[in-house]
């Protein structure tokens, strides 16, 4: 039995991880960490979890915690991941592993030092829709020409996916663009040889750019066009159009259709159609098997390097 602590358990993605773990045999949640007494206690009681706390260090000191899933604010990811490994615990940190390249490099160095499993929650590698495309590319049945992505939200106030106030500020580049930067490099098999971005106006209160465009080119010549906005008053989410030599495909999270909106059967791609559950399954399997997981922090570091290049291009 693998005993796991979920930090940020009362938040939107903490709840998604708790739901996912409930579907995985041989794993149990023995501790959760939260930010507020009432919501953390309620989350523990709702799932009959024996221990809850507002202090990550308290959970890390427990003998019945083998690993940690961090669904905490972005700005805490790197420091908390390192804290977990210093305590001898394997760690799965939600995307992004950090909000800058230097902290990402420190996290990867700590993983190499400890030899523990450290994985970043790059869910696009695991969504069945993107796995189907990846498998076709690896088999030589598809060659990507262009990946066209739209990441749109309406987030002019500091609220989370549940509509509740956030204690931290989200970021289009280091969080939302990170998904697509890693996915594009994963699907094309190499780090982008060209990468640049443009920012729109900064929000007067949030102090972040609310609109952004990013362009990338792979070593093989494929290009990626990514549009991001917190100003979009319409359908929310991220939509991926794969323009290939042998067809066009549109991925919407765990669903996939062709260019004419005909559904693609994904039933034989993975054991679940839930990307979060598939991330968690990979994390726990890597712990049991003592191997590097897909989306290890080392594998995801090139995405952080590309994000750093894009950020520097804003002022070029």
Whole-model pTM: value is 0.94
How confident is residue 165, by pLDDT bands cut at 50, 70 and 90?
low
Least confident of 52-56, 63-67, 231-235: 231-235
Instruction: Give residue 24's pLDDT band: very low, low, confident or very high (50, 70, 90).
Output: very high
Kindly report the length of the chain. 316
DSSP H or E run through 34: none
According to the model, what pLDDT value does residue 163 have? Answer: 65
Q: How far apart are the first and last CA of the chain?
A: 52
Q: How far is CA 182 from the centre of its chain?
A: 9
Instruction: Please compute the mean of the pLDDT values over residues 8-37 and round it to a whole number.
Output: 95
Tell me which fold the domain 2-121+276-295 belongs to. Rossmann fold (3.40.50)
> Does residue 203 carry a pLDDT above 90?
no
Mean pLDDT of 131-159: 91
Q: How confident is the model at residue 51 (pLDDT cuts 50, 70, 90)?
A: very high
Residue ranges of the domains in the chain?
A: 2-121+276-295, 124-266+303-313
Across 262-291, average pLDDT? 97
91 within 8 A of 84, measured Cβ to Cβ:
yes
Number of H-type helices and E-type strands within the chain? 9, 13
- Do residues 180 and 263 lie in contact, with contact meaning Cβ atoms separated by under 8 Å? no
Class of domain 124-266+303-313: alpha beta
* Statement: residue 170 has pLDDT above 80: no
The residues with which 3 forms a beta bridge, in sequence order, are 28
Task: Tokens 């499993």: give the residue.
Answer: 117
Question: What is the reported pLDDT for 85?
Answer: 98
Computed over every residue of the chain, the mean pLDDT equals 94
DSSP assigned state of 69: E
Res 63: pLDDT: 97
The pLDDT, as a whole number, for residue 207 is 81
Displacement of CA 285 from its chain's centroid (Å): 18
């Amino acid at each position: 039995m693998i005993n796991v602590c979920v930090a940020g358990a009362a938040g939107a993605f903490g709840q998604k991880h708790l739901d996912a773990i409930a579907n995985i045999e041989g794993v149990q949640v023995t501790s959760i960490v939260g930010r507020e007494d009432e919501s953390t206690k309620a989350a523990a009681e709702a799932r009959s979890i024996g221990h809850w706390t507002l202090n990550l260090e308290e959970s890390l000191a427990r003998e019945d915690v083998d690993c940690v899933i961090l669904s905490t604010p972005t700005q805490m990811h790197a420091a908390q991941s390192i804290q977990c490994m210093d305590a001898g615990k394997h760690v799965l940190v939600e995307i992004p592993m950090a909000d800058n390249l230097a902290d990402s490099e420190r996290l990867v160095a700590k993983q190499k030092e400890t030899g523990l499993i450290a994985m970043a929650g790059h869910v696009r590698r695991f969504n069945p829709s993107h796995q189907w495309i990846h498998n076709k590319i690896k088999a030589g049945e598809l060659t990507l020409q262009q990946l066209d992505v739209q990441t749109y939200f309406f987030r002019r106030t500091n609220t989370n996916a549940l509509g509740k106030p956030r204690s931290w500020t989200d970021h289009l580049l280091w969080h939302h663009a990170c998904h697509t930067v890693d996915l594009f490099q994963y699907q094309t098999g190499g780090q982008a040889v060209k990468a640049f971005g443009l920012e729109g106006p900064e929000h007067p209160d949030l102090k972040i750019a609310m609109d952004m465009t990013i362009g990338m080119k792979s070593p093989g010549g494929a290009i990626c066009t990514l549009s991001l906005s917190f100003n979009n008053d319409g359908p929310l989410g991220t939509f991926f159009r794969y323009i290939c030599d042998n067809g066009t495909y549109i991925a919407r999270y765990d669903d996939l259709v062709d260019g004419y909106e005909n559904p693609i059967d994904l039933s034989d791609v993975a054991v679940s159609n839930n990307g979060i559950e598939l991330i968690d399954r990979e994390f726990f399997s890597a712990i049991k098997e003592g191997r590097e997981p897909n989306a290890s922090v080392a594998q995801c570091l090139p995405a952080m390097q590309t994000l750093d290049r894009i950020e520097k291009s804003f002022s070029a």
